[in-house]
């Protein structure tokens, strides 16, 4: 730290800060996509699904397996088509898996005390992690660099690569689509109704179980999509990667106010930014600590999180 501080002062140029903001927003958007899965499920069934991070990891396993099966990228097929295909396939896979887990594990426990599904989700998390271990083995796997890390900007010291563009190109439409779905469609209305009061929603004819299933599927789909973008930008897949990503995503959901969709997005971005800028100012080794210090500070002054309660647009 003693060495990192003076260094940070000398290089704290505007470009450097802008660079860290770009990096922070890119990693924050991925955290936000995963965080949406936590917050949506919490919104409708009040469950913190601890297996969500490992579901994300399984999406990455499928992505690496598919890409390796497809062989080296052909010159004719642009990488964008391949990525889009992967996003859809891994999204469907993770969505389906999340739905299946809800049907098999959480649904029988719907009327049980809250702790029963919570502990079950920790169990599912371990099962997923072991599946990942079987699937891709214990050591980290390199994901082929489908998207180049070239700089799209004409600056020397400020980089915005094709990989960052990929993050924007996948994350923004997905979030916009989700917002439209939740706000303006009939199923979105049903979701909001179940989030507010499941009993009342059932009384007015909403099929509550169907809505819950759809929520699990959507959350899983977003995690699967995030895993593909993650694999293409970070280019390393390991069976333990779900833990840290899941922890950050859960933190983002809590920071934004769990149950709130805009809260999860803002929480994810805040965590990405705090990690990048905090790490750059105080040294990389403190990056993780700063994130949780910010979380504690926010929760002390706003226990409901940034967007909790006040903007009650729960899913």
State yes or no: residue 123 binds another protein (CB under 8 A).
no
CA atoms within 13 A on the CB side of 207: 8
State yes or no: residue 288 binds another protein (CB under 8 A).
yes
**Interface pattern 163-192 for another protein (x via CB under 8 A):** x-----------------------------
Joined tokens for residue 195: 């989030």
State yes or no: residue 92 binds another protein (CB under 8 A).
no
**Among 88, 92, 234, 313, interactor with another protein by CB under 8 A:** 234
Closest distance between another protein and the C-beta of residue 71, in Å? 17
Among 104, 119, 125, which residue's Cα sits nearest to residue 239? Answer: 125
d(CA 91, CA 296): 33
- Residue in the structure block whose two tokens are 């003693």: 2
Q: Any residues with CB less than 8 A from the CB of 39 and at least 6 apart, and which? A: 253, 256, 258, 259, 260, 261, 263, 264, 315
State yes or no: residue 251 binds another protein (CB under 8 A).
no
**Among 125, 275, 295, 315, interactor with another protein by CB under 8 A:** 275
User: Closer to another protein at the Cβ: 65 or 235?
Assistant: 235
User: Closer to another protein at the Cβ: 46 or 283?
Assistant: 283
Q: Segment 22-51, which members bind another protein (CB under 8 A)?
A: 23-24, 26-27
Residues in the chain: 315
d(CA 310, CA 183): 17
d(CA 79, CA 4): 39
Binding site residues, another protein, CB under 8 A = 3-4, 7-8, 11, 13, 16, 19-20, 23-24, 26-27, 130, 133, 137-140, 142, 145, 149, 151, 157, 159, 161, 163, 234-236, 241, 244-245, 275-276, 279-280, 283-285, 287-288
């Amino acid at each position: 730290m003693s060495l990192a501080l003076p260094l940070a002062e000398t290089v704290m140029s505007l470009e450097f800060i802008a660079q860290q903001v770009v990096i922070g927003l890119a990693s924050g958007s991925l955290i936000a996509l995963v965080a949406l899965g936590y917050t949506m499920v919490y919104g409708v069934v009040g469950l913190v699904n601890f297996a969500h991070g490992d579901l994300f990891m399984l999406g990455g396993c499928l992505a690496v397996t598919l890409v390796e099966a497809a062989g080296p990228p052909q010159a004719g097929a642009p990488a964008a088509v391949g990525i889009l295909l992967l996003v859809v396939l891994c999204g469907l896979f993770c969505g389906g898996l999340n739905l299946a887990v809800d049907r098999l594990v959480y649904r029988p426990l719907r009327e049980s005390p809250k702790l029963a599904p919570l502990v079950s989700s920790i169990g599912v998390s371990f099962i997923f992690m072991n599946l990942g271990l079987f699937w891709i083995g214990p050591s980290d796997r390199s994901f082929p660099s489908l998207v180049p890390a070239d700089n799209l900007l004409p600056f020397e010291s400020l980089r915005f690569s094709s990989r960052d563009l990929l993050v924007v190109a996948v994350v923004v439409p997905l979030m916009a689509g989700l917002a439209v779905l939740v706000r303006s469609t009939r199923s979105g209305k049903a979701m909001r109704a179940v989030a507010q009061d499941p009993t009342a929603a059932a009384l007015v004819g909403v099929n509550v179980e169907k809505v819950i299933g759809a929520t699990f599927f959507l959350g899983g789909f977003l995690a699967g999509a995030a895993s593909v973008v993650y694999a293409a930008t970070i280019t390393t897949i390991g069976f333990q990667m779900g833990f840290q990503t899941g922890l950050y995503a859960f933190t983002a959901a809590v920071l934004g106010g769990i149950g709130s969709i805009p809260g999860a997005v803002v929480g994810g971005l805040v965590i990405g930014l705090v990690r990048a800028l905090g790490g750059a100012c105080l040294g990389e080794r403190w990056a993780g600590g700063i994130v949780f210090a910010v979380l504690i500070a926010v929760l002390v002054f706003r226990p409901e999180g940034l967007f909790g309660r006040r903007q009650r647009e729960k899913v």
